[in-house]
Structure formats: C-alpha cells, structure tokens
Structure 1
Amino acid sequence: MIEKIRAYVRLHQMLEQSDTVIAGVSGGADSVCLFFVLLELKKEIGFRLAVVHVHHGLRGAEADQDEAYVRHLCEKFSVSYRSYFFDVESESKKRKQSIEEAGREVRREAFADAVQVFGGTKIALAHHQDDNAETMLLHLVRGSRLNGLGGIRPKAGKYIRPLLCVRRREIEAWLNEKEIHWQNDETNQEDHYTRNRIRHHILPCLEEEIHPGAVEHMNETAEYLRQVQVYLEQQADEAMHKAVREPEEGMEEVWFLEEDAFRKVAAVIQSQVIYRCLVRAAGRARDIEEIHVRMVSELLDRQVGREIMLPYSMKAVRSYGGVSIFKNHSADIVNTAECPERECRYTLAPGEKVQAGALMITAKIL
C-alpha cells in the first residue's frame, strides 16, 4: 500500500522537501494511517510535519480520548501538535447551518490558523477512494455540474490527499498488519447522516449486486471527469475574454454577457461561462445550481426588460445586446404585503427570503 501511495504522491507532485505539511488527524483509522504514511514519506523527502486535531465538542468523553490519543502519537514521534476545540452544536445554531456544515467550517478555520502558526505550505487530509465514491454519488443524486461529479481532487490549492488512491479496507488491513491502534467514532456507524447511509447501504449494494469493482471504477471515472473539467476550464477562460464584459474598477459590479460573441461559443462552454459569472457576482459557489445557469441561458431568448431573481440577492436582466448579472442589494427581503391579491406566488432561489405576514421564509437546499 505504501508503494502505491508513494507513486500517487509523485504523480500529483504533492510534496517537496521545502514543504511544511499540516496533517488533519482525528484519531480514526484513515487519519492515523495518513499520519504514519507521512512519517514514512518525511524520511525520504525531508519536509516538516505538524498535526492538527479538531475537537467538535459533540461526543463527550469519547472525543476527549481521541484528542489524548492523537496528542500521545505526536509526543511519541516528536511531531509538532496543535488541538482546537469548538462547540459545533452551538456554532451550527449561530451560523444557521447543519452540524455537518458547521463542522466543515470550523475545521477549515482551524487549518487556516495552523497554517499561520506553523508556516504551513500543505494541508494533508485522509480522504480515500470510498470517500470519493460517496461524494460522487451524493453530487450525482442531488444534481451537480461536472466538477462535482469529478469528486474529491487529489490536490487543490494547499490541500493534498495522499490516500485517495486506496480503499478503506486497504487502510485498515495495513494498520492491522503493522499492529497500529486507532480510535473508533461510534457515530460513523449510525445512519443519521446521508453519507453514512451511502457508505453502509448503497456502496455495498453496488459492489455485491452490480460489480465488485464499482468503487474503483467510480474513482477512475471521477479522474477522467476531472481531466475533462480542466480542458473545459481552459476553453471557458478564452470564452470569458471574448464574451463577457467584466466590472470596471470603481464601478458597480455588473457582469455583462455579450450576446453575439456568447452565441458563437459551444453550448457546454456557455454553461461554464454563465456559472463563472454567477459565482463571481455572488462571491461564492455554494447553492449556485444548474437550474440557475439554465435560467440565465433562457433569458437570452426573452424580450428586453425581462429579469430573473437568483441566489444571494442576484438579478439577471435581459438588455440590448445581452444579459446583465449583478447583486440586487435592495432585494434581500421580498415582502408579500406588496402583493395586491389574497394569494401571492413567489419563486424563491436558495438563500432568498420572503416576508409572509409575521413569518420570514428562507429557501435553503437540504
């Protein structure tokens, strides 16, 4: 297994001698394997290693034991260590997010802080092929663009995932062979979370009932789709220069799709261009869905003056020569009291709010 990971790390140019690598170690099998793999690679490559552990404040004494175990590992092997404590349940309420979403955010915050503390150049995470298959399925079922179907990237910015070439069962077999202990998170056995249901029921069914190599084949497909995505991104770069008038410095942020140039672009690239405009206008990618891209595309076939509301208070307006996309700052809240009729229909995009009498209704994708 180590040889396979070593080759994968080389292929994706994940590690260099000058790196300071911050590894996320929870104490579970995957992250403990990552810890020992990085120790091995450190001997060969010579990078610096530090470990971050995030205590989510959710599992009481069990979580305390996880933290103590990871601390002990780092002391035993003389690895720099830093732990972070978050009350994720409180954070989820404060941020109006699910427990999973809040957990992801606080982990990102912990890593961002650790990068400053240790001078980190890389952040190593323990995702493996089973995680990637779960992600791919989740995106497929919920509806996703191509980058979502490409699953988890081996390398993205500072983040690297050296174990993305191996299965969970390979990891556990290797740890057992080396007689390395790890901590068990009992919540991983519950079916409360969507990912756990995919892990416990759907992936085993695919392997048992359809093809024993389903997970490996899904990972191969994800890799191919990531390559296609890279090509499409390159084409979209060119199309953005030709077909989009970007906001000028000091002016209102309006992204203008120039109709004549835009219509000369291949349909699949048009989709990429609209998506980029929406993400840049919104300032984030979350909740920007294929349906929003399609709504903007269809607007080009409508009469001048037609407009649509989009997530994050964005608006797209059909004008002469194209479509303008911008933040509609006056439309953060839509009050149904303005509706003259007793029944008022209003289509909410994710993230939008509507006032209905004493109620405030917010649209959110769960």
Structure 2
Amino acid sequence: MLEEKVLQTIKKFDMLSFNDRVLIGISGGPDSVTLLNVLLSFKKRYNLSFFIAHLDHMLRGKESDEDVNFVKNLAQELGLPCEVKSYNLTKIARKEHLTLEETARKYRYKFYLETAKKFNTNKIALGHNADDQVETVLMRFLRGSGLEGLMGIPPVRGKIIRPLIECSRAEIEEYCKENKIGYRVDSSNKEVVYFRNKIRLELLPLLSKGYNKNIKDTMLRLRSIISEVSAYLNQETELLFKEVARRESPEMVIIDLKKFTSLPLALKRRIIRKSIEVIKGNLHSISFRHNNEILKLTEYQLGEKEIYLPDNLRAKKIYNKIMIYKKRISKDQTEEIPTPWEYDILIPGETEIKSLGIKVEIIILDSADIKSSLYFTRKKPKGKFLEFIDYNKVKPPLKLRNRRSGDKFYPLKMKGLKKVKDFFIDNKIPKSYRDLIPILVDNEDQIIWIMGMRLDDRVKIKSDTKKALCVKTKIKNAFLQGYF
C-alpha cells in the first residue's frame, strides 16, 4: 500500500512529529493531491493540522485559472485554510535575467516560506517523487554538478519535507486511480522546451530502451551511494575546517596553508567550499573553475597574489595563508586609510582612531605601581595588547603613525639596529598590510613600540625605572588581528 510506504519514508527521515502544523503545497496534479490524501490518513496518528498553499504561475491562461479553482474547491471540501497567490513569472524572469524554471523555483519557495510564516506552520510538505529524483540527478549530471548536486532532492531540508520521495510516479497515479481521486493535468509537462521535460520525455525512455531497462533504479542507487559518501566527507570537512581555518570576522576566513597542503585533494576542495559558504551564506555562482583557481593560488610561491570571485569575494595568498573575504572589507580597512598617517596620543588618557579600528589608553605609573603591574602578561586576548615603557626614556608628546622610509629601531631581545622594513619581512608581514601596522613614536620620531609586535630595547623597563607608561591597545582591524 502506498500509505504504508510513505509512512516508512516519514519514519526513516523523521519527517513528522506529534502536533505538527503542516503546510501542503498543492499544484492540483496527481503528486500533490496524493500527498494531501495520504497525509490526511495520518492526521489522527500524529494529531496533525493542515494548511494548503497554491502558487499560480500565470503561464497557461485559462488552464492556470482552472487549477486555482480546483485547489480552492478542494480546500473548501476538506475545510482546510488555503492561501493562493499569483506571480507573472514570464515578466519576472525577463526582469531578473533568469530562466523560467529558475524563476518558478525561486518564487515558489519564497511563497511557501511566507505562507508557512502566515499560518505559523513548522513543516512544509511538497509532492516530489522518485521519478523527480531521477530526473534531477540526470539534469545535474549533464550540467556538470559535483557530489552535492548528484545527491538530488533532499528528503528533508529545514522545515521542508517530501514524504513521496521514495514513491514512483506510476505508484502515485495508480493510487489516484484506485481511490478515484481527481487531479489536474499540466499540459506544459508534455512540452520538450523545458530541460526537465526533455529528460523525462526523451532521454530517460532512450536510456531505458537502448541501454538499461532499470535505469531509474540504477540512478536512485547511485544517488544513495553518493549521499552516503558525501555525508561522510561533510563530517570530515566540519572537523578539519576547525583545525585548518578560522573565521576572523563575519566576512573573512583565513586558511592555514601549513595544515591545508597535506590534506587529500577532495578535502581541500571542501574546505574551500566551506570557507566561501561561511562568508557568502551559499555557493551560488561558485563553480568548479573557481575552486580550481583557489587551489592554484595555494600553490603560488612568489609573495602575494589575489584573485577575484563572484559576488564581490576575493581570495588572497599571503605567505602561508589564504584569506577569503568580501571586497568591501578590503576597501574599508585598507584602501580608504590615508598613507602616510599620524595621530596624537593622549598622556594620560584614551585615544580612539576609528578609521584604523584602534583604541589606545595610556596610564602613568610611579615606581610603587610598576612592580605589581608587570605581573600582567603583555599579550592579552586577540587584538588586545599591553606594554610598559620607561617614561624618562621617551620625549612626549607621543604619536601613533605608520612606517616611514628609512625607519630603524633597536628590537627588544635583538642585537643592534634594524630597519623596520627588514623587521616586517622577517616576520612575514604582507606588503599590502605594512602601512596599517601602528608604530608608537615620541616627539623626536624615535620608535618606541611597533604595536603588537616588538618594543624598542632603549625604552624597556629596568630595575631603576622610576616612572612608567602603561600602554593598553585594542585593535579591531580584522586584517591585522591575523598577524598579531
């Protein structure tokens, strides 16, 4: 019995729970009316509440109007709330530069989610069947999809459930015949102008007749195997992503190439996809070619290199890191910062430089306070730094600036004078970031501290220090945080 088969699918994928409120998408065709009737048979079992939704695509004139009336009458006969909405998909598709199929899918799901919210339903039941699954897998194969695409239509995705996904179209039509259930026939399903219809009406019959009479079962078995493999790889990717990548901000992910390069290629690709999805929210417009470009970028050996991705994304190789981020971060954090820059710093007091995402607080300590204060670690949580400076070895007022040509200083715990340029190179600071690094200097332009990196040896605290400056710094700039 079809009801028993559907019940097993519901249990297998945990589709329904007691007291669920279910919105059922009804087109009027055999799949959706069968879905409605089968779910009604489970009403008492799960104590379900039902609501009906119908979207008029306005594509078939009088036929579309008759579909609307059919669904409205069906809802009225059953005493179920019904929401009907019309979209001129032809006009929308032209305006949004989408295919008619893409437009129909986009606005259909938009309508279902809006209606689910209106009726406060926690499930949306749709009538996709096993034949739809086969057609989808074949379509995606022909379009060059990866494993995720070849998984086909998910039985459950969020609040969307598909109870008929393991039932064939023939079983559904037989169910309607046995139970004398009336339904509408969409005449456009016989038109081979649509890709899916070509698959259904031409390719599948050809494959079944000339190559494999069990092609549908073969495709479903392939989909099942791919789903199992993909689920395992997704699990591995989630674990590895935490080890080799970190999310610096909502719009930037940094991949550690030291850990990334030793991974198998399949997992490298998935780490890249995961990074993009974390930033972008989806993988729309991201193709196999883009993935390949980022992989090539990871192997680039000469300094820095950046590539452009769809939807204002960028991928940048800097030494042993790959940064994937949105373009506007780069603009806000680097391109709009003037070069050179310089700001006066209050002593004592707090100075905030919003354009740089830096806040500096300076406190003056006497000899009695210095010893107890030195118990604090100089490096605080990410983006926060604490340093102590001998007050009598600097000449106020102090300034915060970026590097200048010819800058030199005496790095703490190092011998002799060193060029700031060489210091940055030794510490693998990307060339494009060097003008962002804040440098604290005194009135004679003597370097006191390259913030977050190294104090000048000449201003360090000693046993005979009588007066000190306690400098607390907070750096919000996401680009810089990755290097401190």
Count of residues in correspondence between the two structures: 329
Amino acid in structure 2 at the alignment position of 1:231: Y
Match of 1:272 in 2: 270
Match of 1:285, SS? Answer: coil
Higher strand share: 2
* Inter-partner Cα distance in structure 1 for 2:42 and 2:214: 29
Contact 2:75 2:82 in 1 (8 A): yes
* Inter-partner Cα distance in structure 1 for 2:248 and 2:87: 39
Once the two structures are superposed, residues 139-180 of structure 1 have per-residue CA deviations (whole angstroms, 9 ceiling, x without a partner) of 111111211111111111111111111111111111111111
2:257 pairs with 1:256: no
Match of 2:274, SS? Answer: helix
* Inter-partner Cα distance in structure 2 for 1:311 and 1:281: 12
* Inter-partner Cα distance in structure 2 for 1:101 and 1:330: 31
Higher helix share: 1
Residue correspondence of structure 1 range 63-142 to structure 2 within 5 A: 63-142=64-143
Once the two structures are superposed, residues 275-295 of structure 1 have per-residue CA deviations (whole angstroms, 9 ceiling, x without a partner) of 111223333221211221121
- My pick for the range that moved more, 51-60 or 278-287, is 278-287
| TM-superposed deviation, 1:84 | 1.0
* Inter-partner Cα distance in structure 2 for 1:224 and 1:80: 40
| TM-superposed deviation, 1:307 | 2.3
Gaps of 5+ in 1: 332-366
* Inter-partner Cα distance in structure 2 for 1:267 and 1:28: 45
Residue correspondence of structure 1 range 106-255 to structure 2 within 5 A: 106-248=107-249, 253-255=251-253
Contact 1:52 1:114 in 2 (8 A): yes
Contact 2:20 2:46 in 1 (8 A): no
| TM-superposed deviation, 1:302 | 1.2
Match of 1:299 in 2: 297
| TM-superposed deviation, 1:38 | 1.1
| TM-superposed deviation, 1:11 | 0.9
Gaps of 5+ in 2: 331-484
Amino acid in structure 2 at the alignment position of 1:268: A
2:303 pairs with 1:310: no
Match of 1:307, SS? Answer: strand
Amino acid in structure 2 at the alignment position of 1:136: V
* Inter-partner Cα distance in structure 2 for 1:28 and 1:248: 47
| TM-superposed deviation, 1:329 | 4.2
Identity score, percent = 30
* Inter-partner Cα distance in structure 1 for 2:156 and 2:279: 26
| TM-superposed deviation, 1:191 | 0.6
Amino acid in structure 2 at the alignment position of 1:171: I
* Inter-partner Cα distance in structure 2 for 1:147 and 1:263: 23
Match of 1:290 in 2: 288
TM-score (norm 1): 0.86
* Inter-partner Cα distance in structure 1 for 2:269 and 2:132: 28
| TM-superposed deviation, 1:71 | 1.0
Structure with higher Rg: it is 2
Question: After TM superposition, what 4+ stretches of structure 1 lie above 6 angstroms from structure 2?
Answer: none
Match of 2:248, SS? Answer: coil
* Inter-partner Cα distance in structure 2 for 1:278 and 1:117: 33
Higher relative contact order (CA 8 A, sep 6+): 1
Match of 2:42, SS? Answer: helix
Match of 2:24 in 1: 23
Amino acid in structure 1 at the alignment position of 2:265: A
- My pick for the range that moved more, 3-12 or 263-272, is 263-272
| TM-superposed deviation, 1:8 | 1.1
Match of 1:245, SS? Answer: strand
* Inter-partner Cα distance in structure 1 for 2:53 and 2:249: 42
Amino acid in structure 2 at the alignment position of 1:260: K
Contact 2:123 2:159 in 1 (8 A): yes
Match of 1:357 in 2: none
| TM-superposed deviation, 1:257 | 1.3
| TM-superposed deviation, 1:330 | 10
